Amino acid sequence: MSKSAKDKDAQAAPAVLEYLNKQNRPYSAVDVQNNLHNVYGKTAVVKALESLAADGKIKSKVYNKQVVFVADQNQLEDVNDAEMKQMDLNIAQISENIKQLVEECKTLESTLGQLNSEMTTDDALKMKNKLAKECSILSDKLTSLKSNTNSVSPAERETIVKSHTSFTKEWKKRKRMCNDMLNAVLEGYPKSKKALIEEAGIETDEDVGVKI
Predicted model pTM: 0.39
| CATH of 3-75 given 1.10.760.10, 3.30.420.40, 1.10.10.10, 3.20.19.10 | 1.10.10.10
pLDDT at 202: 74
Is 1's pLDDT higher than 60? Answer: no
Mean pLDDT of 188-195: 81
Q: pLDDT: is 187 or 209 the higher one?
A: 187
At residue 134, the pLDDT reads 78
- pLDDT digits 0-9 by tens, 75-134: 766 667 777 778 778 778 877 877 887 787 788 777 767 666 666 777 777 777 887 787
All structural domains of the chain with their residue ranges: 3-75, 77-118, 119-208
Q: What is the SS3 assignment for the chain? A: CCHHHHHHHHCHHHHHHHHHHHHCCCECHHHHHHHCCCCCCHHHHHHHHHHHHHCCCEEEEEECCEEEEEECHHHCCCCCHHHHHHHHHHHHHHHHHHHHHHHHHHHHHHHHHHHHHCCCHHHHHHHHHHHHHHHHHHHHHHHHHHHCHHHCCHHHHHHHHHHHHHHHHHHHHHHHHHHHHHHHHHCCCCCCHHHHHHHHCCCCHHHHCCCC
